[in-house]
Amino acid sequence: MNGLKKFFVLRNLTVSTILYSLLFLWFIVSIFPFFWAFMTSIKHPVDAFSMPPVWLFEPTLNAYKALWIDGEFMHYFNNTMFISIGSVIIALIIGCPAGYALARYTNASSFYLLLAALVFRALPRTLFILPFYFIAQVTGLFDTRILLMLIMVSINQPFTIWMLRSFFMNIPKSIEEAAMIDGCTRFQAFRYVIVPIMGPGVITAGIFTFILAYSEYFIPVVLTATRAATMPVAIAQFGVDNVKEWAISAAGAVSIALPVIIIVIIAQKYIVEGLTAGAVKE
Amino acid sequence: MEMKRKEFIAFTAPSMLIMAALMIAPLILTFYLSFMNFTYGSNPQYIGLKNYIDILTNVRFWNATAFTLLITAVTTFAKIAIGFGIALLLYNITKFRGIFIAGSLLPFIVPPVVGTLIFGWLFRQHWGYVSYLLNQIGIDISWYADPWAARWLIMMHVIWQGTSFVFLVLYAGLQAMSKESLEAAVVDGATYFQQVVYVIIPYLKPLFLFVTMIMVMDAYRLFDNIAVMTKGGPGLATETLMYYNYQIAFGRLSLGAGSAISVLTMIGIFILMAPFLYWTYKEQTEK
Amino acid sequence: MARIILENVVKKYGDVTAVQKTNLEIMDKEFLILVGPSGCGKTTTLRMIAGLEEITSGNLYIDDKLVNDVPPKDRDIAMVFQNYALYPHLNVYNNMAFGLKLRKTPKNIIEERVMEAAKMLGIEELLHRKPRQLSGGQRQRVALGRAVVREPKAFLMDEPLSNLDAKLRVQMRAELKLLHERVKTTFVYVTHDQIEAMTMGDRLVVMNHGVIQQVDTPLTLYNKPANLFVAGFIGSPAMNFINCKLIEENDSLILINSQFRLTIDEARVTPKVKAAVNKEVIMGIRPDDIFDAEYSEKIKGNVNNTFTFIVGVVEPLGAETLVNVKIENKLITAKVDYRTKAIHGQPIKLIVDMSKVHVFDAVTEENLSI
């Protein structure tokens, strides 16, 4: 009897160990490239290039200095931040009422708009951007941050509205109804009662809109030259070939990734909820 | 209280206007341009379906389509299989969930360009760590110079980047599932494998559909990683439809032809999406 | 005169009629209750009065003014929701002051009214708390306070006590009745619980499938239900219904079926009942009006009002016992003296108070004996 008991405990231990190991493996696979890039960014070039890799070395911030202080990365950072934050603000200001309306208006048109949102998400970017290439040149908006910001807002609106809508659906209708009986028009009810309580949903939608704008590569690469270029565009120019400036490229990669990593750590809850909100219907 | 039509229009107007101006209008313009011979700098001339015919008879288009379809099929399947596996694993684990989720989210949330770069460096011939490790066990692959190696490189990156989305969605679905259905199966004598196949998978079916549809849509439109990692190379081995589109429209500045490629890509996506939409529609109406 | 009049009011959702042609006059200051099973249209009717639902056809008058197209905020009514619908981001004071602030009421008047309402409802201590810090009963009171502060022409309440536990519910019923006395305003109240309705309402509107079945005081509904539905809905345990035939014998009317024969009391014979002789009817008798023959001091048993059946289930309640017997495949309940010796499977002799029996038309379900 004792032998049998031991067998089950062992078996559970083995199963447990295997489970944790597999997950750990995937964890490492996910993290490792970041870790490696970080290592590279703080190594002297001579260390960075040696194979087998050097694990004990004298760290240096030369790469970062070269990137941020001597280089123009600050400029790209400013552009990226300006465009991302700006597009989030505009996207939310016009997206919240729209998402709210879609949550409350139970007509057929609401359904079709949602379907349209899905369809637009599916379309290749070139369909939207191609005309802008020459329209922007002609109107002098080429290589401007404003244009990029507005296009980001527009292209991400379907997604933003969709996400906001699912959050608004969770607010019971009776709250607005109470407000409207108390004396509000629909818009006053929205402003005084719904807006103050839509916090978490807005934060989640805001985070995603920010990340989408922040990460965008195709649109800036087509519509900017140097003035309004964003960080993804800048770092792509370093490409994979530029061996000499490898440490600087690594520093660039880490620099771009860092704000996002911080957001993930702080706002993990919101991100997970946002990704799964639309999908898991309860 | 029901929202009135007037209110609905007022609330959605700003959003709809911006989308109409900056998304729908250009869309229509692109359609229109696809029937034009338009090289940037000169005047557009109407040429009917010539762009389409030229492209559809061009081997390069079909190569790009083939590769795009290959990526779509392989990576979607892999992402779903691995993502589901991870979701099941995590479902049975109690510790370290938060850290694990945060870590596996990184490849997905970080800008694709960055993810592409740092992933790609590991496979560089002489100074990539993974190449080095492979060399240690006697494997020498030229990831960037060999066409098929390059293709697999791209596919591996896509899987690395996108699996966590699948995993998260399925995991959330698993958590929403009532434990009773599983317990009933256990009482009935089901093995773990049977539990998965007969209880979990049917329950998650709508999520599988949803996630697959998104993955297919995204895979078909891959651009960032191609542009940064291989630039379509070696030669044209890793050229996807979007990259091909980019080369024609902005490399050669043939905006008319480029528009046509975009339209064809869109049709391709719709064809791929159709079965999913149909299945989702069936699921909904069956409820 | 804040009376509310519904004139031929109909509510349709597409092809589905939720509320059929309804005519109702709600008196000023009365406590009127709309009661009925789920889906009967009571909440829809209330929401139409509030202005939260569009009236498909017909006219609604509040205070003798036509208000069909008047938005809720201009109807001068206050509503209490089932889930209270308090504003989560405002404290209790501001929740109650919200409506007044919107109408630009001067600050001192707001303070006066809020404090008065708070005192009336016993929530002065809670004024600085937020809804999430309150219990269910407290939230309920704040919702009431929010309505009281508005000094409306009518209070509309949509099952406000449903989310409270049983004990609290009983307590709140009494408090609501008291509140009604104090504010002397029309209360229109919706519930599916007939006990709640019976204990609180001045008049009840019994509804089923979108149609008003009867509008009367609780006692009248109990003693003189207009049809089968009202008879079966009001009163707990529910009235017993038995199919039988009405025949005439020697100037007496007798209810007869395969298992018994009972003579109807003279007092219960109306012209309508007489007209139903030789027809199939439905006999209705409340459990309270069936007695164990051994322990019936109140009523004398004779051959015309007694039957004997095999006992089914026996449920002791304490002061009384419910005895179920099977008649023609239906379970009939009798509420008898607790001393009864009824045992499952054994026969029991029961006396029926034939002066309380109801006769319903088998087809129209109309109560012929009122």
3-state secondary structure of C130: coil
Contacts (Cβ under 8 Å, ≥6 apart) of A180: A186, A189, B1, C52, C71, C72, C73
Of B4, B8, B101, the CB nearest to A268: B101
How far is C196 from chain A, CA to nearest CA, in Å? 23
How far is B14 from chain A, CA to nearest CA, in Å? 6
Mean pLDDT of chain B: 87
Residue B105, token pair as written in the block: 């989210």
Q: Name the neighbours of C, counting chains with at least 3 Cβ pairs within 8 A.
A: A, B
Contact A221/C at CB under 8 A: no
Contact C54/B at CB under 8 A: yes
pLDDT value at position A280?
A: 55
pLDDT at A6 over 80: no
Contact A183/C at CB under 8 A: yes
Q: State the DSSP code for A190.
A: I
Of B111, B129, B263, the CB nearest to A256: B111
Of A180, A193, A196, the CB nearest to C72: A180
Same domain, A19 and A122: no
Of A130, A161, A217, the CB nearest to B249: A130
Same domain, A36 and A75: no
Residue keyed to tokens 């964890």:
A27
Contact map slice: C 109-138 vs B, CB within 8 A: none
Contact C85/B at CB under 8 A: no
Q: Find chain B residues with C-beta within 8 A of A260's C-beta.
A: 109-111
Closest residue of chain A to B241, computed from CA coordinates: A124
Same domain, A193 and A151: yes
Is A54 within the bounds of a domain? Answer: no
Same domain, A169 and A107: yes
- Best of A182, A186, A197 to substitute, by most chain C Cβ atoms within 10 angstroms, is A182
Is B184 within the bounds of a domain? Answer: yes
Between residues C58 and B138, the one the model is more confident about: C58
| Helical H segments across chain C, by residue range | 42-50, 92-102, 107-121, 136-149, 166-183, 194-200, 218-223, 228-233, 271-275
How far is B178 from chain C, CA to nearest CA, in Å? 25
Q: pLDDT tens digits, residue range C39-52?
A: 999 999 999 999 99
pLDDT at C88 over 60: yes
Is A55 within the bounds of a domain? Answer: no
Note down the domain range covering A25: 2-41
Closest residue of chain B to C71, computed from CA coordinates: B1
pLDDT value at position B153?
A: 92
Q: Find chain B residues with C-beta within 8 A of A39's C-beta.
A: none
pLDDT value at position A154?
A: 92
Is A118 within the bounds of a domain? Answer: yes
pLDDT at A282 over 90: no
The enclosing domain of B195 has a CATH number of 1.10.3720.10
Instruction: Report CB contact under 8 Å: A51, B12.
Output: no
Is B116 within the bounds of a domain? Answer: yes
pLDDT value at position A67?
A: 82
Contact A191/B at CB under 8 A: no
Q: What is chain B written as a DSSP string?
A: -PPPHHHHHHHHHHHHHHHIIIIIHHHHHHHHHTTEE-BBTB--EE-TTHHHHHHHT-HHHHHHHHHHHHHHHHHHHHHHHHHHHHHHHHHT--SSHHHHHHHHHHHHHS-HHHHHHHHHHTT-TTT-HHHHHHHHTT----TTTSHHHHHHHHHHHHHHHHHHHHHHHHHHHHHHS-HHHHHHHHHTT--HHHHIIIIIHHHHHHHHHHHHHHHHHHHHT--HHIIIIITT-STTTT--HHHHHHIIIIIS-BHHHHHHHHHHHHHHHHHHHHHHHHHHHHHHHH-
As beta bridge partners, residue C281 has C244, C361
Going by pLDDT thresholds of 50, 70 and 90, the confidence category of residue A9 is low
Q: pLDDT tens digits, residue range A87-130?
A: 999 999 999 999 999 888 876 777 777 778 888 888 888 888 88
Query: What is the total count of domains within chain A?
Result: 2
Q: Find chain B residues with C-beta within 8 A of C54's C-beta.
A: 2
| Radius of gyration of chain A, Cα coordinates, nearest whole angstrom | 24
Spatial separation of the C-alpha atoms in residues A104 and B2, rounded to whole Å: 7
pLDDT at A281 over 60: no
Q: pLDDT tens digits, residue range C167-208?
A: 999 999 999 999 999 999 999 999 999 999 999 999 999 999
Q: Sign of the CA dihedral C81, C87, C93, C98?
A: negative
Closest residue of chain B to C53, computed from CA coordinates: B1
Of B107, B122, B227, the CB nearest to A30: B107
Residue percentage of chain A with pLDDT more than 70 = 91
Closest residue of chain B to C51, computed from CA coordinates: B1
Closest residue of chain B to C48, computed from CA coordinates: B1
Between residues B177 and C80, the one the model is more confident about: C80
Instruction: Report CB contact under 8 Å: C73, A174.
Output: no
Mean pLDDT of chain C: 91
- Best of C98, C105, C157 to substitute, by most chain A Cβ atoms within 10 angstroms, is C98
Q: Find chain C residues with C-beta within 8 A of A180's C-beta.
A: 52, 71-73
How far is A278 from chain C, CA to nearest CA, in Å? 25
Is B205 within the bounds of a domain? Answer: yes
Same domain, A24 and A139: no
3-state secondary structure of A28: helix
Query: What is the total count of domains within chain B?
Result: 1
Spatial separation of the C-alpha atoms in residues A69 and B55, rounded to whole Å: 47
A178-182, B234-238, C313-317: least confident range: B234-238
What is the distance between the terminal CA atoms of chain B, rounded to a whole angstrom? Answer: 26
Is A51 within the bounds of a domain? Answer: no
pLDDT at A278 over 80: no
Q: Name the neighbours of B, counting chains with at least 3 Cβ pairs within 8 A.
A: A, C
Same domain, A20 and A137: no
How far is B7 from chain C, CA to nearest CA, in Å? 14
Is A178 within the bounds of a domain? Answer: yes
pLDDT at A3 over 60: no
pLDDT at C134 over 60: yes
Going by pLDDT thresholds of 50, 70 and 90, the confidence category of residue A4 is very low
Is B175 within the bounds of a domain? Answer: yes
Same domain, A81 and A22: no
C239-269 as b/e: b if 16+ CB within 10 A: bbbbebbbeeeeeebbbeeeebebbbbeebe
pLDDT at A2 over 60: no
Contact A131/C at CB under 8 A: no
Of C78, C87, C89, the CB nearest to A181: C78
Same domain, A37 and A123: no
pLDDT value at position A1?
A: 44
Contact A243/B at CB under 8 A: yes
Residue B148, token pair as written in the block: 């098929």
pTM of the model: 0.83
Q: State the DSSP code for A54.
A: P
Is A223 within the bounds of a domain? Answer: yes
Between residues B283 and C15, the one the model is more confident about: C15
A80-89, B73-82, C334-343: least confident range: C334-343
Same domain, A22 and A126: no
Same domain, A83 and A210: yes
Spatial separation of the C-alpha atoms in residues C316 and A55, rounded to whole Å: 83
Same domain, A37 and A75: no
> For B182-204, what is the mean pLDDT?
83
As beta bridge partners, residue A54 has none
B104-108, B189-193, C263-267: least confident range: B189-193
Mean pLDDT of chain A: 84
Of A181, A183, A185, the CB nearest to C79: A181
pLDDT value at position A243?
A: 62
Q: Find chain C residues with C-beta within 8 A of B2's C-beta.
A: 53-54
Which domains, from first to last, does chain C contain? Answer: 4-233 (3.40.50.300), 240-361 (2.40.50.140)
Contacts (Cβ under 8 Å, ≥6 apart) of A250: A37, A38, A40, A41, A48, A63, B118, B121
Contact C353/B at CB under 8 A: no
Q: pLDDT tens digits, residue range A25-77?
A: 999 999 999 998 888 888 877 777 777 777 777 788 888 888 888 778 888 99
Q: pLDDT tens digits, residue range C22-35?
A: 999 999 999 999 99
Is A100 within the bounds of a domain? Answer: yes
> How many residues does the structure list for chain B?
287
Q: pLDDT tens digits, residue range B127-147?
A: 788 888 888 888 888 888 888
Spatial separation of the C-alpha atoms in residues C364 and C163, rounded to whole Å: 37
pLDDT value at position A5?
A: 45
Is B30 within the bounds of a domain? Answer: no
Of A95, A127, A186, the CB nearest to B27: A127
Contact A112/B at CB under 8 A: no
Going by pLDDT thresholds of 50, 70 and 90, the confidence category of residue A234 is confident
Q: How many CB atoms lie within 10 A of CB C31?
A: 21
Is A168 within the bounds of a domain? Answer: yes
Contact A131/B at CB under 8 A: yes
pLDDT value at position C200?
A: 94
How far is A198 from chain C, CA to nearest CA, in Å? 10
Q: pLDDT tens digits, residue range C177-186?
A: 999 999 999 9
Spatial separation of the C-alpha atoms in residues A36 and A47, rounded to whole Å: 13
pLDDT value at position C1?
A: 59
Going by pLDDT thresholds of 50, 70 and 90, the confidence category of residue C267 is confident
Give ipTM to 2 decimals: 0.86
Is B100 within the bounds of a domain? Answer: yes
Same domain, A13 and A107: no
Going by pLDDT thresholds of 50, 70 and 90, the confidence category of residue C209 is very high
Of A177, A180, A193, the CB nearest to C87: A193
pLDDT at B280 over 80: no
pLDDT at C140 over 50: yes
Closest residue of chain C to B4, computed from CA coordinates: C54
Of B99, B120, B224, the CB nearest to A240: B120
Note down the domain range covering B161: 70-286
pLDDT value at position C358?
A: 92
